[in-house]
Amino acid sequence: MIPFETIPLPKDMPRPPETVLVNVTPQETRVAILEEQNICELHIERNREHSLVGNIYLGVVRRVLPGMQSAFIDIGLERAAFLHIMDVVEQRQNPESNQRIEHVLFEGKTVLVQVIKDPINSKGARLSTQISLAGRFLVHLPQDEHIGISQRIEGEEERNGLRERLNNLLPENACHGYIIRTSAETATDAELQADIDYLTKVWSNIKNQAKVSPPETLLYADLPLVLRVLRDMFNDNTREILVDSRMNFERMQQFAALYVQNASEKIQRFRGERPLFETYGIESEINRALQPRVNLNFGSYLIIETTEAMTTIDVNTGGFVGAKNFDETIFKTNLEACHAIARELRLRNLGGIIIIDFIDMVLPEHREAVLQELAKALSFDRTRVTLNGFTSLGLVELTRKRSRESLKHVLCEPCHVCQGRGSLKTPQTLCYEIQREIVRESRRFEVREFRIIASPKVIDLFLDEESQSLAMLIDFIGKPISLSVETEYTQEQYDIVLV
C-alpha cells in the first residue's frame, strides 16, 4: 500500500484565546503560551545561550565542497557554519539556473550571510545569503523585488488589496521586496509605513557596517525574546500578556506603543504573591514535558521517544475500557491522542520526522476520522507541519520544521552515569531552579539564613559563573545564603535548609 497523499491542514479553524506568561530573571527569559489554560508552547532564552536565528554576519568562506554543493563559512562561532547552494540568493532567485557553488564562492571571499537554523548537537549553524528582516507586519527582502503574501491570507480579493496598498506606500524607485505577514490584515497604512521606514533604516545600517567591519563580525541581531513575543506571537486571540518584571513590562509597553499599539492594553504587570509560573502550574508542566510518558484521560497514555533520526509516538489504551466495544474504545483513545500529540509537539518543540503509532483500527472510516482530527489539532501550530497519512504498516508520518532546540535539549544533558541512555538536568538548570525555590520559600517563612546542599557541580557553578546571580538573590531576599557540598548527591539532588 502506498502512503496516502499529504493531508491538507484546515486554515479556517477558530483559534482558542491565548494567555501569554513572561517570566524574566537575570539569567533567562521564559515565555509560556496557554490555550484555554493549557500550556501549549514554551520558549526559553538564556543570556549565555541566545538563539542565533535571524542574526546577520559578515562571514568568510573557509572551504568549498563542489561534491556536496555547499560551503563552510566562518562567522566567529566555535564551529564553521554551513551554506548549501539552495540557500544562495542567486539560486533562490533563479531556481531553474542550476548554479554551481564553486562558481559563486571561493575560499577567502567575504560574504553577507544570515543564520536560518541554530547549531544543533554537532552540526554548525545553517546559513543563507538571502537576507530577510522581520518587522511587525512585513518581512523585508532587500535583495528581491517581488511582493509576497502569507499563505494564511487566502482571499484573492484581500491579497490583491494588501499588495496594492503596499505598492502605494513604497517609493517609486523602490527595488526591494517584501512579504506581507498575516498580522498586516488589520494594519493601517500608517502602521505599514512605520514598518517600511523601520526596516529600511535597519538594512541601511547593516550595509554601512558591512563596508567598514572585518570578517566574522556580527552586523545585526534579532530582538530579544521579551520583544519577539509582541512581534511574532501576539494576535487577535491574545487575551492578556502577564509579565513579572517591572523593567521588562515597561520595555514591552514602549515597544508596543511604537509597533504593536493594540497590544498595549493587554500587557499587564503580574503582582501575585506566588511566582508567575508556579501560580499557573507551569513548573510542574515543564517537568512533565521532560518525561517520555504522557497520561491521557481514563488510563490511556502516550510514549514519546526522540532519537537523532526521528521522534516516535506510541498510543496505548492502558486501562481505558469505557466504550461499548473494543473498536469504539480504540477509536475514542486515538481521537483523544490527536490533540495531546499536537500539544506535545509544540510544548516539547519536536521537529524533523515524526512517526505516530496509533492503536490499530479496523474500520476505514475510523482511520479517516482520526486523520482529520489530527489535521485539525495540528492546524494551530505556528511551525510548518506536513501530514502524510497512514503508511502500509498503519503508522502516521508527519514532518515538523526544526526551528530551534527541543525543550529537552535546552534543559537537559546526556546522563554520564548511565552512559548516555538517559538525561539529567544541567547544573545551570538546577541553579536557576534552586534560586526560584529560595524566592518562593522566602515569601512563606521568616528565617535567618538559607543553606543550599547540593552536588559538587552545582555548588561549583554557584561559586563561579553564577556567583553574581547568587549575590543578586541575597540582596533581593535580604537573607544570607550559604553553600554546602554533598558528594553523595547525584546531580539533580539538592536540599534547601531553613536556618
Distance, in Å, from the CA atom of 354 to the CA atom of 351, rounded to the nearest integer, reads: 7
Q: Would the pLDDT of 2 be above 50?
A: no
Instruction: Specify if 105 maps to a domain.
Output: yes
Whole-angstrom Cα distance, residue 294 to residue 142?
45
Angle between helices 189-212 and 156-169 (to 10 degrees): 60
The torsion region of residue 469 among left (phi > 0), alpha (psi -120 to 50) and beta comes to alpha
Are residue 112 and residue 159 in the same domain, yes or no? Answer: yes
Specify whether 391 is located in the same domain as 494.
no
Bridge partners of 338, per DSSP, are none
Residue 233 lies in a domain: yes
- Tens of pLDDT along 419-432? 666 778 899 999 99
Residue 374 lies in a domain: yes
Domain that holds residue 277: 18-49+224-282
Nearest of 116, 109, 150 to residue 131 by alpha carbon = 116
Task: For residue 104, give the H/E element and its range.
Answer: helix 101-104
Q: Would 137 be classed as within a structural domain?
A: yes
- Residue 478's CATH number: 3.40.1260.20
**pLDDT tens, 468-487?**
999 999 999 999 999 999 99
Q: Identity (one letter) of the amino acid at 393?
A: L
Note whether 384 and 436 are same-domain residues: no
Please give the mean pLDDT across all residues of the chain.
89
In a domain, 418, yes or no: no
Q: Are residues 308 and 365 in the same domain?
A: yes
Q: Answer yes or no: do 270 and 390 share one domain.
A: no
Residues 300 and 391 in one domain: yes
Residue 96 CB partners (closer than 8 Å, separation 6+): none
478 lies in some domain: yes
Q: 151 with 122, same domain?
A: yes
264 shares its domain with 296: no
Task: Indicate yes or no: pTM above 0.85.
Answer: no
Segment 325-330 shows an average pLDDT of: 83
Q: Is the pLDDT of residue 152 over 90?
A: no
142 vs 138: CA distance, rounded Å: 12
Burial class, 73, CB count within 10 angstroms (exposed 0-12 / middle 13-18 / buried 19+):
buried
381 and 483 share a domain? no
* DSSP H or E stretch at residue 219: strand 217-220
Question: CA distances (Å), 491 to each of 121, 267, 439, 482, in order?
Answer: 22, 38, 21, 19
Boundary-marking domain end, from 407, 436, 465: 407
Domains in the chain, number: 4
328 and 378 in a single domain? The answer is yes
367 and 464 fall within a common domain: no
**C-alpha to C-alpha distance for 231 and 181, rounded to whole angstroms:** 11
Q: Say if residue 158 is in the same domain as residue 77.
A: yes
- Residue 412 falls within a domain, yes or no? no
